[in-house]
Structure formats: C-alpha cells, structure tokens
Amino acid sequence: MASASATGHNVLLVSIVLLATVCACTAESPYAAGLSEDYYQKTCPQAASIVDAYVTKFLSKDRNFAGAFNRLQFHDCWVGGCDGSVLLNSTTTNQAEREAHVNFGLRGVAEVDEIKAALERVCPGVVSCADILILAARDATAKVGGPTWSVALGRRDGVNSTALMADTNLPFPVLNFSGLVANFAAKGFGAREMITLSGAHTIGRTHCNGILPHLYNFTGKDDATDTNPAMDKNFAVFLKKHCPQGNTTNTIFIDSTANTFDRAYYKNVLQGKGIFITDAALITNPVGKKIVTKFSKPGKSFFTEFAAGMVKMGNLGVLTNTEGEIRRTCQFVN
C-alpha cells in the first residue's frame, strides 16, 4: 500500500497534469474562428507546397515580387476583411477595389491567378483565393530573408469589391502620425503594431504617384521647392531625378535594400530617407521615434512582432463555413 505522503504526491501530480491540460485546451487561439493550420490536410494536402513552389518561381524571376505579395495581403485584409476581394475585376456596373486611387500600380494579381489555376488542376473548388494571398505573403517574406510564421487556413472568397471601400479604408501615403494611428486603431491595431507593419516597406517598389506629395506639394504649394524639410537633401535630389514633377508612372525601390527583408527601412527613416510622407511621419512622434530606433538595431523584436502582426491581420473579417464562395478564378466571382 502506498504511504500517505506518496499518495498525496501522486494526487498533486495528477492535479498538475489536469490543470495543464485544461489550460492548454482553453488557451486563446491566435486564429479567427473557423480557421486552422491543417484545414486542407484531407481535401488538398499539397496546397501549401504548390503555393510555395510558385512563389519560388516568381521570386526567381523578380525577387522584388515579395513586396507585391505583402502589399496584396494588406490591401485585401484592410478592406472588408481577408476575402480575396482585392483580386476581383471591375464590371460594367462596378468599379472594383483594384481601380481605387490607393491601389494604383498593384502587382501580383495575375501571379495569384496562376497559382489558383495550378491548385484547380489538383484540387478543384477547394482552395480559396483569400488563402492563397495569405500563404504567398508568408512564403515570399521568408524567401527574401524575413521571418516565417504559422498560417491558419479556411477563408472563403468574398463577392463584393468596390473602389470606394478601398479608398475609404486603406491609409493614403500622405497621412501624418495621428492619422496612421487612427487608421490602424479602426482595425484593432495599436501604434506599435502600425509601426511594425510599416516595416513591410523594407521590400518592394512603388510608383512615383505616392511620392510626389512628399517632394513637390508638402505644404500645398505644388512646386519644385515644396519638399518635406525633414527629408535628407541628397535623398530628395535622388528621388526627384527618378520622379520628376507630374510623373506618376515611374517606379522606384522603397528602401535601399528593397529585395531583402531587413531593418534598413527603419535606418533609412531615421536618416530622413523615408519614401512616403507616412514613413517620415513615424519619427514625428517621440514614442514612434523610440520604436523606430529600436527596430533599426540588431535583435529579434522586429521580425517576431512583424510575424505576429501578419497573423493578426490575417484574421480580419474572414468568411468561413458556408459564407462567400470558393472562386474558380480569382479575378471573377462564380
């Protein structure tokens, strides 16, 4: 017979195990209801590997496409939720999100459709365009030196897409610090998360239309001398060579190492070399400047927090179960 002390010890161990089990079962999931990491395990187990292979293919041709895939996730999720609506074409009676001013020069739509076509050949009617966007953004980020993160799947595709919704929800590149904070707060993100996700500007390129207000119309004068005085003067000269006044279509890399996900973006911002007014705005607030300074230095904080921000963004307004549809092609509703 076990001694009283041994019995008590065993009871204590069982209690600890039970408590741990309860805590594990009731721990809050980082994912929206209806999403799971193994969602396609039975219906299309090769889904993630197919997306990964195509992202590798696209980046081998143009490594800068990593920025395009990141932008697609943000521009999709911020407008009515992560439902693939940013991919939809306009119709004769509706201007879709892609026609919005804030979506000027959006890249990657045709590439997502190519991935979708490959998935349809293997698993027809199973994998949503919304999930493809989430996977592609994660894979592309990791392949150019950034962090990776676990992705929950199970989103379905929306059927509504309007330019007005995009221009109303997405932050324009002329917002000041308080404007950015308010825009992100409306989606449930704090100021630190806003600064973290702004770090996506470490990869990719932009058309000049988003830069012109920073160079020629900072105070509303609209002339060649109306440049943000906080911008590094040599950098301003460089930008004006690539983006002459009135030219909206030329393209330019967003940061000095635009094909690599790193901390250069934050270093550039501190040096007065932010491409957009929104970049420069991050250090106009003392708290913002402190965070930018922290992220500009070696350490895991930026990468860890960026991954967490992308996971959180991927939960916005998701459609699951019988909501929405699984599009056959990403640019058209069924």
- pLDDT tens digits, one per residue of 133-180: 999 999 999 999 999 999 999 999 999 999 999 999 999 999 999 999
Q: Would you state the pLDDT for residue 169? A: 97
- Model-level pTM? 0.88
Tell me whether residue 214 is in a domain: no
pLDDT of residue 221: 84
> How confident is the model at residue 299, as a pLDDT?
87
CATH code, domain carrying 115: 1.10.520.10
- CA pair distance 132, 76, nearest whole angstrom: 12
Residue 4 lies inside a defined structural domain of this protein: no
**Is 162 within a domain?**
yes
Contact 167, 102 (CB under 8 A): yes
pLDDT the model gives residue 27: 53
Asked, for residue 231, whether it belongs to a domain, the answer is no
Q: Is 272 left (phi over 0), alpha (psi -120 to 50) or beta?
A: left
Q: Provide the domain count of the chain.
A: 1
- Give a yes or no: residue 29 inside a domain: no
Domain with 185 in it: 46-204+254-315
In a domain, 84, yes or no: yes
What local confidence, expressed as pLDDT, does residue 23 receive? 46
Per the annotation, where are the binding residues? Answer: 76, 79, 81, 83, 85, 97, 171, 201-202, 255, 257, 262
Tell whether 220 is covered by a domain.
no
- Which residue ranges make up the annotated binding site for substrate? 171
Distance CA 54, CA 132 (A): 11
Tokens of 11: 């009871």
Q: Which residues of the chain have pLDDT under 70?
A: 1-28
Return binding residues for heme b.
201
Q: Is residue 293 part of a domain?
A: yes
Q: Which residues are catalytic?
A: 75
